[in-house]
Amino acid sequence: MIVIVMGVSASGKTEVGELLAPLIGGEFLDADDFHSPENKHKMESRVPLTDEDRAPWLATLRRLIEERLDRETPMVLACSALKREYRYQLRVDQRKVVLAYLKGSVDGIAKRIQEREHEYFRGLDMLVSQLCTLEEPLQWENALVLDRTKEWSANAAEIKAHYKL
């Protein structure tokens, strides 16, 4: 099983994913680590990424997911997956690749961005860009919607229980 923990930056994807991975006996990967140097530079410069910028990144993530599915290796991937199109690319098998969406208020996420250090995602202008891009999962996507203000461990436990991992 592959769990994609999704949401905008500062929603808690990494924290929840790092706690969930050992609970399911899986590996944790952060999709940010697979961005090209060019994409990272753009984000450091507070330039929002385009679909064209994201295409090779999404292709890399899809290959990682396919490899884990082929090996039957559980994995948790923290990934913004902001658009339905992106999620469609990543969910190569909807029975084995599931979504957990960390949803929160704009004010709460903005506060967290201001309080934390991040390699290249700094400032509220990037959050505005992500919120404008975000297409919340629809019912047919079968995403588990989680309250990002809960304890990270509670969200990880809820994902594990919901998907019977």
The domain that contains 146 carries what CATH number?
A: 3.40.50.300
Q: What is the pTM of this model?
A: 0.91
Mean residue pLDDT of the chain comes to 91
For 116-148, what is each residue's pLDDT tens digit?
665 555 566 667 778 888 999 998 899 999 999
Closest alpha carbon to 158 in 6, 12, 7, 23: 23
Please state the rounded mean pLDDT for residues 68-84: 96
Per the DSSP assignment, residues forming a β-bridge with 4 are 77, 99
Q: How far apart (Å, rounded) are the C-alpha atoms in residues 54 and 138?
A: 22
State residue 113's pLDDT score.
75
Report phi then psi at 77, rounded to 5: -120, 120
Domain count for the chain: 1
The boundaries of the domain holding residue 108 are 2-162
